[in-house]
Structure 1
Amino acid sequence: MLVIRNYKEFEEFAGKELGVSEWHTITQEQINKFADATLDHQWIHIDAEKASVDSPFKTTIAHGYLTISLIPYLWKQIADIQNLKMEINYGIEEFRFGQAVVVNSEVRLRAKLAQIVDLRGVTKATIRVELEIKDQKKTAYTGNTVFLYHFNKD
């Protein structure tokens, strides 16, 4: 795992791949809980019987936003950003879904430091992410996630 303690250490990785997370299995239980939390109970996500007949995937699929919501969890497996006062999810940009994530798929995050900027002492890091699906050529998505890191003074 990559350990970063300040802007200067982070900046050394500009334009470089930062790493890859562990595989995470998307279960039906996780999909159902996400549906409950977001009030998105579309049958393609939660009704396995109907999906087996009416869905082109022949099974349920994860919500696209569920897969995006995994970014903080998977990102923390790639990089341990230390010496922080505060960390803020600042935005997501240019996201494109490549293919659906069917239930029981294993996914992992691949991350690259696309851009890093010092905003008067606040580090703005744009991380290019891809969510890979095990044994699939196409990714679930690609896009940029932007974090603001408020490092403690060294």
Structure 2
Amino acid sequence: MLSVENPADLAAHIGDPIGPGPWRAVTEAQIAAFAGLSGDDHWIHTDPARAAKETSFGGVIAQGFLTLSMTTSMLQEGLQVRCAARWFNYGMERLRFTAPVRAGDRLRLRGTLAAVEPAAGGGTRIEIDVVVELEGAAKPALVGRSILLAFA
């Protein structure tokens, strides 16, 4: 785990790895719950029988934005800033969903600290290149650059 006292301390660690974190299973129940919350209730996410019959996935697949939303907590498993009073997701750059995530698949995040700079309002802008690995797969489920704002 990359651990520092203050957000600005991360500047000394540009290029350092973050993670990998532990593997996490994505369940059919999580996919269904996210469908209800997000309104992304296409049958490929909510109808296991139809998804098994009409796709090559063998069942439902997770919404890409479910996988994306998991990156927030997965980053916390590999990055600790002890005196950060608050964090904000600022955005993602170059986001790609590169492989489907099936119910039952396991994911983990591996990242690289890419940039750290002062931000307006006394904060620190942190950019992390993230890869959400899919256990046993040649391609990751997601790649992109996460941009965070942290305040001490």
- TM-score exceeds 0.5: yes
Equivalent in the alignment of 2:140: 139
RMSD of aligned alpha carbons: 1.2
Identity %: 30
Q: Which runs of 5+ in 1 are unaligned?
A: none
CA contact (8 A) 2:89 2:149 kept: yes
> Shift of residue 52 of structure 1?
1.0
Size of the aligned set, in residue pairs, is 151
Show CA shifts across 1:33-56 (max 9, x none). 000001111011111100111012
Q: Which residue of structure 2 aligns with residue 124 of structure 1?
A: 125
Q: How much has 1:8 moved relative to structure 2?
A: 4.5
Q: Map of 1:1-154 to 2, 5 A cutoff?
A: 1-119=1-119, 121-151=122-152
CA distance in 1, matches of 2:115, 2:8: 13
Partners of 1:14 and 1:126 in 2: CA distance? 9
Distance 2:30 2:81 in 1: 27
Cα separation, 2, equivalents of 1:13 and 1:39: 39
What is the TM-score normalised by the length of structure 2?
A: 0.94
2:61 aligns to what SS in structure 1?
coil
- Structure 1 distance, partners of 2:48, 2:18, is 37
Does structure 1 retain, via aligned residues, the 8 Å contact 2:8–2:124? Answer: no
The CA deviation at 1:65 is 0.2
CA contact (8 A) 1:7 1:118 kept: no
Structure 1 runs, 4 residues or longer, greater than 3 Å off: none
Please give the alpha-carbon distance, in whole angstroms, between the structure 2 residues aligned to 1:77 and 1:65: 19
Shift in Å at residue 150 of structure 1? Answer: 0.7
The separation in 1 between residues aligned to 2:92 and 2:105, in whole angstroms, is 24
Q: Which amino acid aligns with 2:148?
A: F
1:66-96, Cα deviation, whole Å (9 max, x unpaired) = 0000011111111112112221111111101
Q: What SS does the corresponding residue of 2:19 show, helix, strand or coil?
A: strand
Q: Can you give the 5+ residue segments of structure 2 that lack an aligned partner in the other structure?
A: none
Q: Which amino acid aligns with 1:100?
A: P
